[in-house]
Each structure stands twice: as structure tokens, then as C-alpha cells.
Structure 1
Amino acid sequence: MAPVDDLNALRKRFPVPSSPTEVPTRSSLTLESGLLEAWAEGYNVGSIIILILIVFCNYRSGILLHKLILLELVLALWHGTFIFAQDPVYGWYLSTTATLLFISYQLHNVVSWLKIRPFLPNWGSRVFILSLLAVQPFWVAEAWSNFEYFNGLGNNVNERMRPWEALVRDPWWIFTTWKLIDSIKKTYGFKMLSLIRINSRFGVMLFCMFLSIAFLITDIFVSALRVTKNAGINPYWRLALVFKCASDTIFLDDFKSVLDDIVTKSVRSAGGTVHPGSNPSRGRPCPSSAPTSIGCGPVTTRVTSPRVMAASGKTKIYDASRHELTPRIHVRRETTVTTELRKPSQESFSSHQRILPEMEPAICHEGRSSVV
């Protein structure tokens, strides 16, 4: 195969911008920034497509949380395709897909609220959602500045607004991660490693949550230090985005329902019993008469192991009205055994009663037979 001067060809396609203030069009991308952007967008699109397929495999119609997660992924998908657009469509397509991405950010925070809401008091839930509504004007201004900056409309305010995105995008996600870990320790009495040993899938979700936080912190430093100011290429926010979406996708239901299901299955596999009044798989609130049920409090007071009960020699059940373990008493009725002698006539050996009847004698004559 004949040698080709690939570097010169790529330099012609992605020339170095003449000045830092030049409009960031597609033709102004450098060789390094073009390759990095193409890799980051391919990673973004491929990962989200896989996550969408996982959602379809576990999707249940009629559940709002499942619909929001699917919509979040679809909106975040398109901002990984603007590398194929040519000038002058490049800037308009980039800004449009960026607006869809901003909407996906807000949906992700709403999904986080729905997942952590069972562990929040009423006032905490209100603060969560009201604070999220309070930052929406920033995202409207950010979408406008994005159109101004990437289409050369005369305003470069986006360079000053971009470093502040993380402050109005990620605090709710960090709080959700912290609240989940705190609820596992306080409400369920589990250690993190013990819960991961019980359900490795839950451990994968926690790993994705921690990775997303690590990459978003990296994105904050890169944006604040303006490391990518000239090229405008930053793959770290895409890594954080994918792992945040993966955290929403691994379990589509809220965290309380997921934890209740894990605890219930682990108790049943160990041979224990669970109070029949609670329904942890649905994530419904528990009645006030049973504050220590699996859905509301530590399961250590509700789990009864048959081995332990057999060793103690007692059988105990949970009495919801008294909130205490009440012994169960088994009462057996007294039975009387009597013997009855058989009558002599019923003895098989001494009885003269015929068991089978005798046949009547028959007299045979020539040509006919008669019975006497």
C-alpha cells in the first residue's frame, strides 16, 4: 500500500485556529482536538445506546420513573453526533443538541429526587425540588450563550458561564449519593461491604455513582483552570454523564424498593421469616403500627432465623399490636385409649359360621339337568 501523508491531510481538514478569539467552528478544530472529540462522542453515543437497550429490557409501562429515565437517555444521546455536521450547520446543530443535553441534566436530578424521596422528610423533599427549580434561569441563559458563542453572534459570555455549570448541575446528585449511603447504615443497619456481598449488582451501581462524582470533580478543575479554552474539548464531563446515566439504569426503581427487595431475598435465602404485613417490593409506606418493619427500620428486629429458634426450644411470632415477640403455646387434647374384647363368635378360628355359602346339590339326567 502506498504511503499517505495522513498528518498533512488531517491538518488541512483541522487547521489550527489563528487566534483564541476565533469562532469555534468545525474547521477550526486542531488535529488533536478533532481526534479527541470524535473519540469522546463515539464513547458517549455507544454507551448510551447500550443503556437504552438495558432500560427496554427492564421497562414496565405505567411507571413514571421508568419513562423519565428513558427520556433522559434519549435527550443525552444527540450531543454526541455533532462531529458529523459541516459548517455552517455545525454550530447550530451543536447548540441545539446542547440544549437537549441541558434538559437531560434536569431530568437526571428529578430522577434522583424520585429515587431518594422515600428516605427524605417532607421538608427535605420540598427543599430538594425547590432548589432545583431555582437554578433553571441559569440553564436558560446557558443555552442562549451557547448559541451566541458557537455561531459567532457576537457574545462570548459562554466562556465565563461554562465553569459554573457544575455548581448548578451536580450538588443534587452528590447529595443523593450521600443520602443513599447514610440510609443504608442507619435504616437498614448494613455495612457497605456486607450489602455488596449480598447483591453485587448494587455494588456496581455504587461504583458507577462514585466514578461519576470523580469525573465531574475533574471536569470542574479542568473548566476552572481553562485547560481546554482554545480547543473547547473536554471529555471528562462525558465520562461523568455516562456513569450517572448508568447509575439510573442499573436499577430503574427507587432506592427504597431496591433495598427492600435485596433484604427480603437475602432473608428468605437464609431460611428466616419476614413480617407478612410489610410489602417491601412495592416500596409502599409502612403503617404506623409497625415502625420496625423492613421497609421502615432495621431488619434485625424483624428477622427470625429457624436455627436460632430451634436452639432455644421456643417458637416466637411478631405481634404488631404489642411490638414485642410473644410466645406461641401449642395445646394438645387429651385422648383416651380403650380396649374391647372380641366376642367368641367373631374369632376366626373358633367360629362355626360359614364364610362362603354352600352350593345346592345338582342331579344330572340324560339330556337335561335339574336342581333338587
Structure 2
Amino acid sequence: MAPRESLRALERRFPVPSTRTDPPTRSSLTLEGGFLEAWAQGYNVGSLIILILIVFCNYRPGILLHKLILLELVLALWHGTFIFAQDPAYGWYLSTTATLLFISYQIHNIVSWLKIRPFLPKWGSRFFICSLLAVQPFWVAEAWSNFEYFNNLGSDANERMRPWEALVRDPWWIFTTWKLIDAIKKTYSFKLWALVRINSRFAVMLACMFFSIAFLLTDVVINALRVTKDSGINPYWRFALVFKCASDTIFLDDFKSVLDDIVARSLNNTCGMAHHGSYSGGRNSSIRDGTEFIECRPMAKVSPHRPTAHSRYIKARPQTMPAPRIHVQKETTITTEPRKTSQDSYESKNEILPAPEPAVYRGSQENLSLGSLSISYVGSRD
């Protein structure tokens, strides 16, 4: 009996033939398919929980974009838990969480619009939203087909609609990624690699965007070739989902605010290094040949005939600094004497300060100067 049971277990590791007519249920999962689905859902839930915690760490109340990103993650979380449901609740729970996932897809596209909107013209922003609204009937039909298919309600439209999901789900995300790279080159005159070297956090966000696009294209190919038709399990879209959510989470603000902040910090750091090298005079000083660099400040509009010191990295001419002067003050000794009341009293007939002797100035009055001034003391009068 034991060898026969082991053979039956090995048989369940292989996919169920595609000729089955029953919809996939919890009991119809093969052993291999159950392992793969449980691993994929665990990866989905664990990753999204970490991203939710990151959002809470950077969350600022009152900002719509932050609220939408948090809602997107919470709605996508539940579709990674239907592996625990048993028949017959398995199909209903799966379809309900799938509907929440479809809503999360639409919120992600709205978040993409809010992030890239500062770089779009007015007509481009309207076209983005109108095209997104135009595909909503498909998602209503897709949610209906999920309930019909996974609960054996009589329709198998989901098998024909599932391969078209990527066409009405991901073009807006691909456009957002392209527009961000284009804005970096045109608006900020930055090379992508230079910006990556300036800010590693931004580099991680770009990597997540590229990984998400790679996995969603893999999902399209897998569905087009019907590779997973027998087992019904495709974990590639979960990879794309997690990386898309991570791209929204790394920076919660719109892309223009993020890029402006990165560029401003880069310029401040560069100007601070130039200022430090000009005045510190230490071993890291940028002065090598007697020149100095003036502190970086915002550019000011001046006439061409009057140079200004407010531009960046202005190289000034070498200036000879005056030799320092040292002033030495001699020590003085202060002595105290007892005061004589006879001299200090108002009733005393002695004068407190004797009257100065009359002086006679010699020399020409016109050429009177401090150097030619001589004083002769005259004797007392008779």
C-alpha cells in the first residue's frame, strides 16, 4: 500500500491535463501547483506588508498622494491570502480579492498620473485620465468573469479575457517610466547615470520600475503562449505588482518634487565644498595657486559692466593680504594714595588743578604745525 500511495503522490505533482472542464478549485491544485501558489502568495503578502510599513514611516497626513499609495497597497494585499480558503468558499474568496486587486491597479495608474503630471501639458494630462476611464468597462467585465469562472456559474469568458489584462493595465505605467527618463534628460539636463550616482535611493526606484516592466512583459508572453493553462498558476504578475508598488513607495511625492530636491541638495553640497575649500585652508583646501573661490549663492541679474560675486564658482584674482599688525601695550602700575581732605574739600583755598602757565608760540602763524610748534615757559610775574 505504501508504494502505491507514493506513486499517487508523485502523480499529483504533475499538472492536470488541459482537457478538464471543471473550474480550478482548492482541491484541484496539484502538489507542485500548491507549493508554487503558496510561495507566490507568501512573497506577495510579505513584500506588501514591508512596503506598507515604509509608507507609514514617511506618511504625512493631509496629502492625497500618500493616502492613495497606502490604499493601493492595502487593496492588493488580500489577493495573496486565498490559498487558505477551502471549497466552496475558495472560489468566492478568490474572486472577491481579485476585484480588490483590480481596484488597486486603477489606483496605481492614478498615482502614476499624479506623479508625472507636473511634466505633462494640460492636454496630455487630460488624455491620460480619459484613456484610463475608457478601459473601466473592461475591468467591470473582468471582475464578473472571475466570479463566473471560479464559482462554476456557467461562463468561461475569463479564459479569453485574462490574456488581455496587460493591455488595459500597464500602458500608463510604461508611459510614466518613459516620461520620467525623458524629463530627466530634457528638463534637468542630467544624464541618467549621473543622477543615479548622485542619489542611490532614486537609482533603486528606477531599478524597481525597470524590473516591473520586465516581469509584466513576461506575464504577457506567458499568457499569450498559454504556458500555464494546465496548472492555472502564473507568479510573474505578482513580481510585476510588487515592483510597481515599490516604485510608488520609495518616494511618496511626485517626481518633479523629488528631482528638484535631489538637484538642490547636490548643488548645495557642491557649493558647500567650494566654500569650505576657500576659507578653511586645511589639507582638503581647494586653494592651490593662491586663488580663492567665492561662496556659491543664487544668481543675481546684473549689468554686464558690473561684475558680481553671486554666481557659482567665480574665480577671483589673487589678492595680497596685508601683514597682520600686533599692538603691544605696556604694563602700567596703579598705586593708591590716601586722599587729603584739606585739598579735596570745597572749603579748601587750594586749587584742585593749578592754572597752566601762559605759553608763547613762535614762528609764522601761517606755517603753524605740530612739528614747528615750540613752547617757552615764562617765569612768574612780579
* The two structures share one fold, judged by TM-score above 0.5: yes
Gaps of 5+ in 2: 274-285, 311-331, 343-382
22-31 vs 209-218, which moves further:
22-31
* 1:230-309 paired onto structure 2 within 5 Å: 230-271=230-271
Give me the whole-angstrom Cα distance separating, in 1, the residues matched to 2:6 and 2:57.
43
Give the alignment partner of residue 308 of structure 2, picking from 319, 328, 334: 328
Give me the whole-angstrom Cα distance separating, in 2, the residues matched to 1:10 and 1:102.
36
Larger Rg: 2
| Partner in structure 2 of residue 211 of structure 1 | 211
Structure 1 residues 99 and 323, CA gap change in structure 2 (3 angstroms): farther
Structure 1 residues 77 and 10, CA gap change in structure 2 (3 angstroms): farther
AA at the equivalent of 1:80: G
| Partner in structure 2 of residue 73 of structure 1 | 73
Give me the whole-angstrom Cα distance separating, in 2, the residues matched to 1:178 and 1:31.
41
| Partner in structure 1 of residue 322 of structure 2 | none
Give me the whole-angstrom Cα distance separating, in 2, the residues matched to 1:257 and 1:325.
37
1:163 and 1:224 in contact (8 A); partners too: yes
Query: CA-to-partner distance for each residue in 1:153-186, whole Å, 9 max, x for gaps?
Result: 1100110000000000000000000000010111
Post-superposition offset of 1:57: 0.4
Give me the whole-angstrom Cα distance separating, in 2, the residues matched to 1:162 and 1:325.
70
| Partner in structure 2 of residue 318 of structure 1 | 299
Q: Is residue 9 of structure 2 the alignment partner of residue 28 of structure 1? A: no
Structure 1 residues 356 and 329, CA gap change in structure 2 (3 angstroms): farther
1:318 and 1:324 in contact (8 A); partners too: no
1:38 and 1:83 in contact (8 A); partners too: yes
AA at the equivalent of 2:224: A
TM normalised by structure 2 equals 0.72
Gaps of 5+ in 1: 274-305, 331-347, 349-353, 362-372
Structure 1 residues 314 and 16, CA gap change in structure 2 (3 angstroms): closer
| Partner in structure 2 of residue 351 of structure 1 | none
Query: CA-to-partner distance for each residue in 1:64-123, whole Å, 9 max, x for gaps?
Result: 000000000000000000000000000000000000000000000000000000111101
AA at the equivalent of 1:244: K
* 1:1-372 paired onto structure 2 within 5 Å: 8=8, 16=16, 19-271=19-271, 318-319=299-300, 327-328=307-308, 356=337, 358-359=339-340
Query: CA-to-partner distance for each residue in 1:301-342, whole Å, 9 max, x for gaps?
Result: xxxxx98xx65889986336x799963389xxxxxxxxxxxx
1:17 and 1:29 in contact (8 A); partners too: no
Give me the whole-angstrom Cα distance separating, in 1, the residues matched to 2:244 and 2:303.
41
TM normalised by structure 1 equals 0.74
2:82 and 2:90 in contact (8 A); partners too: yes
13-22 vs 177-186, which moves further:
13-22
- Count of residue correspondences: 304
1:15 and 1:28 in contact (8 A); partners too: no
Structure 1 residues 145 and 312, CA gap change in structure 2 (3 angstroms): same
Give me the whole-angstrom Cα distance separating, in 2, the residues matched to 1:24 and 1:87.
11
Query: CA-to-partner distance for each residue in 1:174-221, whole Å, 9 max, x for gaps?
Result: 000000001011111111111111110000000000000000000000
Aligned alpha-carbon RMSD (Å): 3.3
AA at the equivalent of 1:47: S
Give me the whole-angstrom Cα distance separating, in 2, the residues matched to 1:72 and 1:205.
17
Structure 1 residues 62 and 326, CA gap change in structure 2 (3 angstroms): farther
Structure 1 residues 311 and 14, CA gap change in structure 2 (3 angstroms): same
- Aligned-pair identity in percent equals 74
Structure 1 residues 176 and 314, CA gap change in structure 2 (3 angstroms): closer
Post-superposition offset of 1:270: 1.1
Post-superposition offset of 1:30: 1.2
